[in-house]
């Protein structure tokens, strides 16, 4: 047990100190502390940085680091852009988002796993999908919708479950996304026999929908929007439907067929 603690201590200190050292090298020397921000330090996924701070690992490396907490990763991004913090601890998508906007940022340290984080997939795919990287090479259909149980949303998700084999034939995976809680998703999927994942954009509420520009503050829910992200991670097609109208699956199928090389789906 003692050896395990020593190994954990060494790994945390080395990884997080490396991040802070890199920031120190890129920041002019000054008396104030290096500021690292996280999107909610109470969240279990940020346990590594919280432990490194509370157990004094930064100080052991000769670093004066101040860990700050805000309500979301989006606010942490803003802090990095304005210069109020020198680093952000969060998911890799923040780095990709900022790089896509032409900002020079670099991921210094990446953990392959985080406490409390898990990839949940259907039992039949448990031996195929073990990490998010296993989705590489597939298109991803992202279906944002306002709420579980509403009539239009129920019909839309049921239709997609029926058409799922066609999406698969064209090399695409499907996820549904709303601001409902995960427990609500579980019961909704069970009762409607949905055969694809439903993602909970629950807290911070609507953050994923905001990133895609389809969160409606007036109703506190996502719009009814469809995106196809290709195998290279680029949005290749999108459509926003009137909130009371089921967009169906024809547009998705047409877009996927246009992306599929001739003979690839035969």
- Residue 108 within a domain: no
Identify the residue whose tokens are 């019909």: 155
Query: Which of these ranges, 14-18, 47-51, 186-190, has the smallest mean pLDDT?
Result: 14-18
Q: Does the annotation count 153 as an active-site position?
A: yes
94 and 127 inside one domain: no
Q: Is 102 left (phi over 0), alpha (psi -120 to 50) or beta?
A: left
* From 21, 25, 153, 184, active-site residue: 153
How confident is the model at residue 60, as a pLDDT?
83
In this structure, is residue 221 part of a structural domain?
Answer: yes
* Average of per-residue pLDDT across 256-262: 77
- Evaluate if residue 45 carries a pLDDT over 70: no
SS3 assignment, position 139 = strand
- The rounded distance, in Å, linking the Cα atoms of 217 and 15 is 39
Q: Give the pLDDT band (50/70/90) at residue 200.
A: confident
d(CA 164, CA 159): 9
- Cβ atoms of residues 162 and 184 within 8 Å: no
Average pLDDT estimate for 70-91: 75
Q: What SS3 state is found at 123? A: helix
Task: Report if residue 16 sits inside a domain.
Answer: yes
Domain identity same for 154 and 225: yes
Q: Report if residue 111 sits inside a domain.
A: no
In a domain, 163, yes or no: yes
Pair 142, 221 in one domain: yes
Structural domains of the chain, count: 2
Asked if pLDDT for residue 28 goes beyond 70, the answer is no
Please give the share of the chain, as a percent, with pLDDT higher than 90: 32
What confidence tens digit (pLDDT) does each residue in 96-114 have? Answer: 667 667 777 666 655 555 5
In the chain, the largest separation of any two C-alpha atoms, in whole Å, equals 65
pLDDT in tens, 132-143: 566 667 889 999
Among 99, 118, 123, 198, which residue's Cα sits nearest to residue 156? Answer: 198
Question: Is residue 143 located within the same domain as residue 76?
Answer: no
Q: Both 160 and 245 in a single domain?
A: yes
CB atoms under 10 Å from CB of 98, counted, come to 17
User: Residue 109, SS3?
Assistant: coil
Residues 223 and 150 grouped into a single domain: yes
Query: For residue 26, what pLDDT band results from cuts at 50, 70 and 90?
Result: very low
Give me the domain span that covers residue 160: 123-259
In this predicted structure, what is the pLDDT of residue 49? 80
Report pTM.
0.55
* Radius of gyration of the chain from its Cα atoms, rounded to whole angstroms: 21
Residues 164/193, Cβ–Cβ less than 8 Å = no
Of the residues 69, 100, 131, the one at which a domain ends: 100
Query: Are 96 and 131 in a shared domain?
Result: no
pLDDT of residue 217: 92
């Amino acid at each position: 047990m003692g050896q395990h603690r020593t190994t954990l201590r060494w790994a945390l200190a080395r990884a997080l100190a490396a991040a802070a050292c890199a920031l120190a090298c890129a920041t002019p020397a000054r008396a104030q502390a290096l500021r690292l921000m996280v999107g909610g330090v109470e969240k279990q996924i940020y346990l590594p940085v919280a432990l490194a701070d509370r157990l004094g690992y930064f100080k052991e490396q000769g670093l004066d680091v101040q860990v700050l907490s805000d309500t979301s990763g989006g606010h942490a991004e803003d802090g990095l852009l304005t210069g109020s913090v020198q680093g952000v601890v969060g998911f890799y998508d923040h780095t990709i988002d900022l790089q896509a906007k032409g900002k020079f940022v670099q991921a210094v340290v990446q953990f392959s796993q985080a406490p409390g984080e898990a990839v949940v997939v259907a039992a039949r795919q448990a031996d195929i999908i073990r990490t998010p990287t296993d989705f590489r090479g597939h298109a991803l259909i992202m279906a944002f919708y306002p709420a579980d149980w509403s009539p239009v949303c129920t019909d839309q998700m049921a239709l997609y479950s029926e058409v799922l084999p066609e999406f698969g034939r064209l090399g695409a995976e499907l996820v549904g996304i709303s601001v409902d809680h995960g427990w609500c998703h579980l019961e909704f999927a069970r009762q409607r026999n949905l055969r694809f994942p439903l993602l909970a954009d629950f807290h911070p509420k609507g953050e994923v929908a905001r990133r895609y520009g389809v969160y409606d503050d007036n109703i506190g829910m996502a719009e009814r929007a469809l995106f196809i992200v290709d195998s290279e991670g680029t949005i290749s097609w999108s459509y926003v439907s009137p909130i009371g109208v089921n967009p169906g699956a024809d547009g998705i199928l047409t877009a996927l067929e246009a992306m599929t090389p001739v003979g690839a789906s035969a």
